[in-house]
Amino acid sequence: CTLGSEVALRVGGDFFFDPQPGDSPVKLVLIAGGVGINPLFSILLHIADLRGYQEGKGNGYKMGTVKLYYSAKNTSELLFKKNILGLMNAFPGKITCRFHVTQQNSQICKELQPHVTGK
């Protein structure tokens, strides 16, 4: 987003992301804390499936970029972190993630370091 961008927010409750072929691409920003990553991780996997299908078939929904912001106390509490890193590697520049830790007391592993902010 840039200054002046229009955004839609949804907090909790029933939500899903199921674009249809022909829908306009959107830039998606997903924000999660702790175990709140569960439904957003499902959305991220769905997006990866759509992108893979699109690349294989050359048609279908044209996905925009996806940015995930995910916070937890420390890196050991970041669920699905290896899977998320794998998705970022599989779709460079299309799927990105910033992890934020609030109470990290130990060294952050090299694989996560470029993607982690906080203590």
| pLDDT tens profile 80-96 | 999 999 999 999 999 99
Q: What is the mean pLDDT of residues 43-61?
A: 74
Q: Give domain limits for the chain.
A: 28-117
What's the rounded Cα separation, in Å, for the pair 38 and 41? Answer: 5
**Could you tell me the strand order of the sheet in which 95-101 lies?**
28-33, 66-72, 95-101, 116-118
Q: How many CB atoms lie within 10 A of CB 48?
A: 19
**pTM of the predicted protein model:** 0.84
Q: Supply φ then ψ for residue 116, to 5 degrees.
A: -110, 135
The reported pLDDT for the residue numbered 10 is 72
Q: What is the mean pLDDT of residues 22-46?
A: 90
Assigned fold of 28-117: Rossmann fold (3.40.50)
Residue 69 · residue 98 · CB < 8 Å: yes
Sign of the Cα pseudo-torsion (68, 57, 90, 79, in order): positive
DSSP 61: -
The reported pLDDT for the residue numbered 112 is 94
Sign of the Cα pseudo-torsion (10, 16, 22, 26, in order): positive
The reported pLDDT for the residue numbered 20 is 79
Q: What is the mean pLDDT of residues 64-77?
A: 95
Confidence grade of residue 61 (pLDDT, cut at 50, 70, 90): low
Q: What is the mean pLDDT of residues 72-79?
A: 96
Sign of the Cα pseudo-torsion (23, 25, 27, 33, in order): positive
Confidence grade of residue 70 (pLDDT, cut at 50, 70, 90): very high
